[in-house]
Amino acid sequence: MTDFKDLDPLLHSQLRLAVMSLLVSVKSAEFVYIREKTNATAGNLSVQIDKLSTAGYIEVEKTFKGKKPLTTCKITKKGLHAFEEYVNALQQYIKK
């Protein structure tokens, strides 16, 4: 077990992992889109997105669409790297 990589606690959580998996596949996505696809509540999603953003895993841009506030999320290089590491660690974990 010496070469076993611990699973990134930031990613090893249901909603944060769902958000990251969604953002890995697209260029950018609006908050409403992510909420719809993950079935999360707005409050919970906001908290998790803040955590991912503070860690530098995603980039959050707040603008306006007409008069409505618009939050757009995008995965960063650091986030992509962390996601790849997480998947690698998961594979090793499953092999054992």
Partner 1 sequence: MKQEKEHLTSEESLEIITRMIKTAQGNVKAGAFYFLFWGWIAMIASLAHFYLDMYTDYAAPYMVWLISIPGWIVTMLYSYKKASAARVKTYSDNLIMWTWIGFGFSILVVIFAGQHINFQITPLIMLFAGLCTFITGLIIRFKPLIIGGSSFWIFAPIAFYLPIVYSPLIMAVGIVFGYLIPAYILKKHNP
Q: Which residues bind partner 1 (CB under 8 A)?
A: 7, 12-15, 17-18, 21-22, 24-30, 32-33, 37-41, 44, 48, 65, 87, 90, 93-94
Rank residues 12 and 78 by Cβ distance to partner 1 and give the closer one. Answer: 12
Residues 74 and 27: beta-carbon distance below 8 Å: yes
Rank residues 37 and 81 by Cβ distance to partner 1 and give the closer one. Answer: 37
Residue 11: count other Cβ atoms within 10 Å of its Cβ.
22
Considering the complex, what minimum distance in angstroms separates the CB of residue 48 from partner 1?
7
How far is residue 40's CA from residue 35's CA, in Å, rounded to a whole number? 5
Q: Kindly state the DSSP code that residue 71 receives in the 8-state scheme.
A: E
